Amino acid sequence: MDKVRVAVIGCGGISRAHINAHLAEPRSELVYCVDTDEDKAKEKAEAAKCKWHTDYEAILEEVDAVDICTPVHLHASMTIRAAQAGKHVMTEKIMARNLDEAEEMIQATDEAGVIFMVAFVLRYRREFMLMHDICTSGQLGQIHQAYVQTSMMLGRVADWRKTVEMFPMGALMSHGCHYVDQLQWDVGPIVETTCMGNAFTFAEEIPGGDDTEVMINRHENGAVSAYVESWATPYPLTRLKLDVYGKEGSARVEYLADTRRVVEVNNGDGWERVWEYDPNKAELMDVFGGAKDMHGQIAHFIECILDGKQPLTHGREGIKPMQVIAAATEGEKRGEIINVQEWLKERKQ
């Protein structure tokens, strides 16, 4: 086939970027927008000029792949059902509520022989791809330290976040998974970790975890890193920053207050801006008024299906940030630093 027939399942906020990216990808044919809320399904389908439905199982025979944009408590069951029907799957992060569900998803897609991809969108954005190339090229010399900060204020709390059964996590697992993935992609596997946090703002609305957390890590190569995360900061000084320090240079990705995204490098001659992107330019806006920053991810998913190759963020890669964050959370409970691999073996016993 030269096109992949796709259904987007779940028509909430994140679906807008997914739908736009499918519309921008010539090898993707968006056939259905699906949501149990008929109004949401119709709204997205009208914008995408495709069909709509309220039951994803009813349309599986009409598509080759599904793009799951639902709340996290539905990811595992939908992925497994779609795989059983022989459909390729991409699911939004975080891939599951817990490691057991994530492992079941990997097993089901392996057994079905379908493509399974986790939507770690930063891996497919130019600024983070460039940062990865800089970090792994040797340009910075031996990397010894990295630091990530993300500060934001969560808007209206969706109902599905309000119960531990549907959402047994806080900011670190739900949002921070992107940046733990980046730390490992750029610096190397995290082997030791712990964290601490608080829930001063959303404890009653989001009982599953903290809304502000600090995580410290040691990487396999000896480098150390820290991640400072909050979705309860009303007036953030820094929207997003990833700094990596080596013996021969330093590099950063930063999202500035005016929304521009920059990559800067210093190899001894001062800071040089090597890349800049302004998502507010009209030509970069999608049909829903958001930045066109998901096309690379969708293009990769479609390419993997057509070429029969494994995605960069396949299931076994997608579970790694979950494993590290779960270990860090265990570290907070115990009041100690956790060896990630030893802890993963413990939990299997």
Exposure b/e, 15-32, CB count within 10 A at least 16 = b? bbbbbbbbbebeebbbbb
Q: What's residue 40's pLDDT? A: 98
Q: What's residue 349's pLDDT? A: 85
Q: What's residue 321's pLDDT? A: 98
Q: What's residue 266's pLDDT? A: 98
CB 82 within 8 A of CB 60: yes
How is the beta sheet containing 65-68 ordered, strand by strand?
Answer: 51-53, 28-34, 4-9, 65-68, 88-92, 116-119
pLDDT band at 288; cut points 50, 70, 90: low
pLDDT band at 169; cut points 50, 70, 90: very high
Provide the 8-state DSSP code for 39: H
> Span 84-111, mean pLDDT?
98
Cα–Cα distance for residue pair 22/311, rounded to 1 Å = 17
Q: What's residue 108's pLDDT? A: 98
SS3 assignment, position 156: coil
Please return the burial class of 224, using the count of CB atoms within 10 Å of its CB with bins 0-12, 13-18 and 19+: middle
Question: What pTM does this model have?
Answer: 0.96
The residue among 339, 347, 312, 315 whose CA lies nearest residue 189 is 339
Place of tokens 């975890």: 209
Q: What's residue 238's pLDDT? A: 87
- The answer for residues whose C-beta is within 8 angstroms of residue 327's C-beta and 6 or more apart is 193, 338, 340, 343, 344
Tens digits of per-residue pLDDT, 316-338? 999 999 999 999 999 999 999 99
Q: What's residue 257's pLDDT? A: 87
**Ranges assigned E (strand) in 247-288:** 250-255, 261-266, 272-277
Q: What's residue 300's pLDDT? A: 97
Using the predicted structure, report yes or no on whether residue 280 has a pLDDT greater than 80: no
> Count H helices, E strands: the chain?
10, 15
> Span 194-211, mean pLDDT?
97
The residue among 129, 332, 146 whose CA lies nearest residue 222 is 146
CATH topology of domain 123-282+320-339: Dihydrodipicolinate Reductase; domain 2 (3.30.360)
Tens digits of per-residue pLDDT, 8-60? 999 999 999 999 999 999 999 999 999 999 999 999 999 999 999 999 999 99
CATH topology of domain 4-120+302-312: Rossmann fold (3.40.50)
Cα–Cα distance for residue pair 124/105, rounded to 1 Å = 22
Q: What's residue 306's pLDDT? A: 98
Q: Where are the domains of the chain?
A: 4-120+302-312, 123-282+320-339
pLDDT band at 202; cut points 50, 70, 90: very high
Tokens of 286: 């999608």
CB 91 within 8 A of CB 319: no
Q: What's residue 207's pLDDT? A: 97
Please return the burial class of 257, using the count of CB atoms within 10 Å of its CB with bins 0-12, 13-18 and 19+: exposed
Tokens of 156: 């209206």
pLDDT band at 264; cut points 50, 70, 90: very high
Share of the chain above pLDDT 70, in %: 97
> Span 202-219, mean pLDDT?
98
What is the number of other CB atoms lying within 10 angstroms of the CB of residue 47? 16
Q: What's residue 290's pLDDT? A: 57
The β-bridge relationship of strands 190-198 and 250-255 is unpaired
**Which of 85-89, 233-237, 276-280 is predicted with the least confidence, judged by mean pLDDT?**
276-280
CB 108 within 8 A of CB 83: yes
C-alpha separations of 189 from 186, 251, 341 in Å: 9, 19, 11
Q: What's residue 327's pLDDT? A: 98
